[in-house]
Amino acid sequence: MAKIEMLSLERIVAPEGRGLVSPARRAADSLLRAGMNEDTLELDLNNVILNVSVRDDDPLIGKTRRQASYFPERVLKFAGEIKQVTPGLVYELLDSIRINPKAKDVSWLLNGSYKETLQAFEGLPNLLKVYGEFVKFAIRKKRRTVACQDHFAIILMQHVRQATGKSFYPELEILLEALFRVRNLTSPYQQPTLRDLYRRTRLRLRPLYLALKT
C-alpha cells in the first residue's frame, strides 16, 4: 500500500487562482496570529485526513449501524416462523432421530423424553422474541463511540483552544473543508458538527488531552 503524502499547510490553504487570498489562508492566518503554532496546525490537520474511519460505529460486530438496525426484526420474524412449526412435525423429527442409528450425534435432543424436548422447543419462539426486543432496545440506547478520525478532529480543536483561548469554529470549518477538498473528498466537519463533537467528548477524553500537554 502506497504511503499517503503529508500535506504542507501552504498546500492546504493554497488559493485556486493567482493573486487571490483563499478563505483557508485567512482562516489559518487568524489562528496563527492568535497564538496557534504553525507546525502543530499542519500536523493536526494531516492527522484528521490520514485517520479516516467509519463514523457510525458498529453496534454489532461485523455489521454497520444500518445492518444492525434490521437485526432485531429478523430475530422477531424468525421467532414467528419457528412458532408455526406444528408439534406433529416436531414429533416426527424426534421419532426419526430415535430410530435412526446414525443420529447419535443429536440423540441429546430426546433428553430422556419427548415432553421435555417439546417444552424446550415450544419456549424457543418466546425466548427469541424477548431477545429480539432486548437487542432492539440495546441498539437504540447504545452510546455512540468516537471514530478515529473524530479523535484527531477533537485534538485539533483542543490544541486551538489551548493556544488561543478561543474555539475558532468558523476558521476550523474552512480549513477542514480546504483539507478534504485537496484530497477530492467532502468534509464532514461543519460548525454544528464540531461543536457537538467537542461537547460530547471533552469530558470522556480529558485524560488524553492532559497527556497531550506533557
Give this prediction's pTM: 0.55
Is 154 found in the same domain as 128? no
The mean pLDDT value for 62-81 works out to 77
Please report the pLDDT score of residue 54 as a whole number: 46
Is residue 185 in a domain?
yes
- Residue 60 forms part of a structural domain: no
Share of the chain above pLDDT 70, in %: 67
Asked if 195 and 157 sit in the same domain, the reply is: yes
Residue given cell 496570529 in the structure block: 33
Of the candidates 141, 162, 190, which is a domain's last residue? 141
pLDDT tens, position by position, 125-142: 888 888 888 888 777 766
How many residues comprise the chain?
214
Question: Is 116 domain-assigned?
Answer: yes
Look at residue 159 and tell me if it is in a domain: yes
Residue-wise pLDDT for 23-39, tens only, equals: 999 999 999 999 999 99
Same domain? For 182 and 121 the reply is no
Higher confidence at residue 82 or residue 55? 82
Cell of 141: 440506547
Answer yes or no: are the C-beta atoms of 167 and 157 closer than 8 Å: yes
User: Looking at 122, 141, 160, which one is the last position of a domain?
Assistant: 141
pLDDT of residue 49: 86
- How many domains is the chain built from? 2
Q: How far apart are CA 53 and CA 161, in angstroms?
A: 25
Does residue 59 fall inside a structural domain?
no
Residues 87 and 49 in one domain: no
Question: Does the CA dihedral 104-107-112-114 come out positive or negative?
Answer: negative
127 against 210, higher pLDDT: 127
Residues 152 and 99 placed together within one structural domain of the fold: no
User: Is 26 among the domain residues?
Assistant: yes
* Mean pLDDT score of the chain: 77
Based on the fold, state whether residues 105 and 80 are members of the same structural domain: yes
Long-range interactions of 56-59: CB distance < 8 A, separation 24+:
56/144, 57/144, 57/145, 57/147, 59/138, 59/139, 59/142
Same domain, 156 and 197: yes
Please indicate, yes or no, whether residues 131 and 154 belong to a single structural domain of this protein: no
Task: Confirm whether 194 is domain-assigned.
Answer: yes
Residues 44 and 85 reside in one and the same domain: no
Residue 100 pLDDT > 80, yes or no?
no
94-103 long-range contacts, CB within 8 A, separation 24+: 94/118
Do 129 and 154 fall into the same domain?
Answer: no
* Secondary structure (H, E, C), the chain: CCCCCCCCHHHHCCCCCCCCCCHHHHHHHHHHHCCCCHHHHHHHHHHHHHCCCCCCCCCCCCCCHHHHHHHHHHHHHHHHHHHCCCHHHHHHHHHHHHHCHHHHHHHHHHCCCHHHHHHHHHHHHHHHHHHHHHHHHHHHHCCCCCCHHHHHHHHHHHHHHHHHCCCCHHHHHHHHHHHHHHCCCCCCCCHHHHHHHHHHHCCCCHHHHHHHHC
Query: What tens digit of pLDDT does each residue of 147-196 get?
Result: 778 888 988 998 999 999 999 999 999 999 999 988 888 888 999 989 98
| Structural domain span for residue 154 | 9-54+147-213
Highest mean pLDDT among 42-46, 95-99, 126-130 belongs to: 42-46
* 2 is a domain residue: no
**Among 112, 141, 170, residue at a domain's last position:** 141
**pLDDT band, residue 87 (cuts 50/70/90):** low
- Based on the domain organization, do 96 and 125 belong to the same domain? yes
